[in-house]
Amino acid sequence: MKSLIQSAIAIIVVCTILLFTANQLEAGGTQGSNNTITVYNWGEYIDPELIDQFTEETGIKVIYETFDSNEAMMTKVQQGGSAYDVAVPSEYMVEMMIEEDLLIPLDHSKLPNMKNIDPYFLDLAFDPGNKYTIPYFWGTVGIVYNPSLVEDHLTFESWKDLWDPSLKDKVFLVDGAREVMGMGLNSLGESLNAKDDNLLRQATDKLITLSPNIKAIIGDEITPLMINNEATVALTWSGQAADMMWENEELDFAVPQEGSNLWFDNFVIPKTAANVDGAHAFINFMLDAEVSAQNNDYVGYSTPNAAAMELMDPEVIEDERFYPNEELREKLEVYENLGLEWLGKYNEYFLEFKMSIR
């Protein structure tokens, strides 16, 4: 009988210890989530010193992960296997994420530094009232080129310059259906969001006539090629062009006057977030004028932060190649969410064009 009582007491003691340990682990996990956030961003798209500064100021540790395309980011968020607290999708992907109910509405009361954003970049069509997004960086699609390696009459203020016979086998294009098909549509004076088979057919046919000038359709490899003067002309994003021009002062950049893409990358809080308060704290930190100015100096893309611009080199913010004037901005378009059917058509026409290149 005594041994049974002793055994029962031992079992009770062990269960008590296990329950206490489980509670401690659970508490520790909660504490960890409150002191940690996971940020999902494009590669090389933040000054690493600012991540350390945020942790020093708030005590919140940042786990920083990167993606190389909006589609890859979307897939990871949809799967829900990772608790991303902050992500940075582009505008058309924001529309898709809103449609699929993947985002948490922002609490603007926790984002007092939102006042630093230029109103021009707020309340845009893809997110009225900025219910889900805060703009991070913006830019354009245009042409980077080496003036010393092209004919004097080529300024690339018009898309038609890409078709010049002197550029045979000298033009590189980014490997993106929206960018290339958008260029084709804009060269015809049409919208880069066109949902019209006839217009897409015309744009593709015109792009096919550009084939003799195309050296290759590639990705990030464009940057070293242009820096090392191994390429002459490239269709690319303004931020990528800025990186090239920083390394090679011979290069120049132009946004054709017929129109082009105006893109935005944006802070959002996915529904996977485990630390919503920490996510708001991080976004608000990045909107601080001094922080934003430092980040812009590191990244090189155009900032929507008006307060930060007051702290930046005037030569940077007065450069109309990267901060287009109002007249040109009126001709720029934000990519709209085309829907799966039309996105598929854009990809099909783009593939047809790629297959025409010998």
Rounded to whole angstroms, the Cα distance separating 34 from 182 reads 43
Measure the CA–CA gap between 276 and 106, rounded to whole angstroms.
9
Helix (H, G, I), strand (E, B) or coil at 221: coil
Nearest to 86 by CA among 68, 99, 112, 67: 67
| 44 annotated as belonging to a binding site for a ligand | yes
DSSP 168: T
Cβ atoms of 182 and 334 closer than 8 Å: no
For 206, the 3-state DSSP assignment is: helix
Of 62, 8, 72, the closest CA to residue 35 belongs to: 62
Coil, strand or helix: which one is 156? coil
Reduced to 3 states (helix: H, G, I; strand: E, B; else coil), residue 299 is: helix
Helix (H) or strand (E) holding 307: helix 306-309
Phi, psi of 107 (to 5 degrees): -95, 100
Tokens 């060269």 found at: 187
Residue type, position 11, single letter? I
CB atoms within 10 A of CB 317: 17
151 annotated ligand-binding residue: no
150, 166 in Cβ contact below 8 A?
Answer: yes
What does the DSSP 8-state code read for residue 336?
A: P
- Write out the binding residues for spermidine: 44, 92
- Write out the binding residues: 44, 92
